[in-house]
Amino acid sequence: MSRSSSCKVVGMDWSKRPGFSETSCHIEEFNNEYDEEEEGLRQRFVVVHGAGSFGHFQASKSGVHKGGLNQPLVKAGFVATRISVTSLNLDIVRALAREGIPSVGMSPFACGWLTNERNIESADIQMVANAIDSGLIPVLHGDAVLDTARECTILSGDVIIRHLAEELKPEFVVFITDVPGVYDRPPSEPNAVLLREIEVHEDGSWSVLKPENVNKKVTFTVAAHDTTGGMVTKISEAAMIAKLGIDVFIVQAASSHSLTALKGELKDGIPEDWIGTAIRFSR
């Protein structure tokens, strides 16, 4: 989140980083004055991130998503995947903390999230709720988890978000990605059209509201290294969240549009100049 330059960042990462001889925070700088507006902005958020290049390689090479934890390669891949994703989680927690966001890493595996045939079987979100109530920002991530049917699998960040949305009933959910939103075909293709509003129906199907003259045959691709389903999973999870009556916005990282969405400013209508994809339940 952006902040005014006059607001002092209260750094919360006091550890040294590789390649840096100094920590990024001096305790002497603390005072008890928070900017209330800033404080309000960063309250009661949950951050969930995927694995990106951290983890997908380890998981797909060893077949962790297919299960079979007793096989040496799968067991090693499970351990290697968890190391990779928790390493990314720590980097993200530290980056947020350096900006003064009271982030706390929470691994779904350690939190006791279990799946059955890749569907969430049990996931105690009490601790996530406790952390939020304590003014902290939980940071969860796609993780290698135990599966009661296939011994182990990969739980994607998108599935985690949906489960958290069902349990915590947030005002809105924002998916932050590296493209401006959802397109009618891979955005690298010429003439790809950004889908601005998607309406989810009672039966779970969905249709494009804006733009009106969009290519009706929407296609999605899944990257070969992605063990968790890529854009198809993302949209179907987003649609399931929207069906709960929770608005979902898919936006580009580090854009002003992502900030607009994160601030909750799309609640009463989407401005014409906002760029992203809104997915909402048809009421």
List of residues contacting its own copies (CB under 8 A): 10-15, 18-19, 25, 27, 30-32, 34, 54, 57-58, 61-62, 69-73, 75-80, 82-84, 86-87, 90, 93-94, 97, 102-107, 109-112, 114, 124, 126-127, 130-131, 134-136, 146, 151-152
User: Letter for the amino acid at 279?
Assistant: I
Shortest Cβ distance from residue 279 to its own copies (Å)? 30
Show contacts of 85-88: CB within 8 Å, 24+ apart. 85/51, 85/54, 85/55, 85/141, 85/142, 85/143, 85/144, 86/141, 87/54, 88/49, 88/51, 88/52, 88/54, 88/55, 88/141
Q: In angstroms, what is the minimal distance from the CB of 126 to its own copies?
A: 6
Contacts of 204 (CB under 8 A, 6+ apart): 239, 240, 243
Which residue, 26 or 201, is less far from its own copies as judged by CB? 26
Alpha-carbon gap, residue 61 to 87, rounded angstroms:
19
* CA-closest candidate to residue 223, choices 60, 85, 67: 60
Give the whole-angstrom CA distance, residue 99 versus residue 87: 19
Nearer residue to its own copies within complex by CB, 138 or 170: 138
Shortest spacing between CB 98 and its own copies, in angstroms: 10
Q: Do 152 and 144 meet the contact criterion of CB atoms below 8 Å apart?
A: yes
Contacts of 68 (CB under 8 A, 6+ apart): 74, 150, 151, 152
Query: Which is nearer to its own copies, 161 or 231 (by Cβ)?
Result: 161
Q: At closest approach, how far in Å is the CB of 147 from its own copies?
A: 10
Contact 128, 138 (CB under 8 A): yes
Q: How far apart are CA 3 and CA 240, in angstroms?
A: 33
- Closer to its own copies at the Cβ: 18 or 269? 18
* Closer residue to its own copies in complex, CB, 41/83: 83
Q: Tell me, what amino acid is at 35? A: D
Q: Measured from the CB of residue 8, what is the shortest distance to its own copies in angstroms?
A: 11
Q: Which is nearer to its own copies, 103 or 258 (CB)?
A: 103
Q: What's the min distance (Å) between Cβ of 253 and its own copies?
A: 22
- CB of residue 151 to its own copies, shortest distance in Å: 7
Least distance (Å) from its own copies to the CB of residue 6? 17
End-to-end CA distance of the chain: 31
Q: Which is nearer to its own copies, 132 or 182 (CB)?
A: 132
Q: Which is nearer to its own copies, 73 or 254 (CB)?
A: 73
Q: Coil, helix or strand for 29?
A: helix
139 token code pair: 């940071």
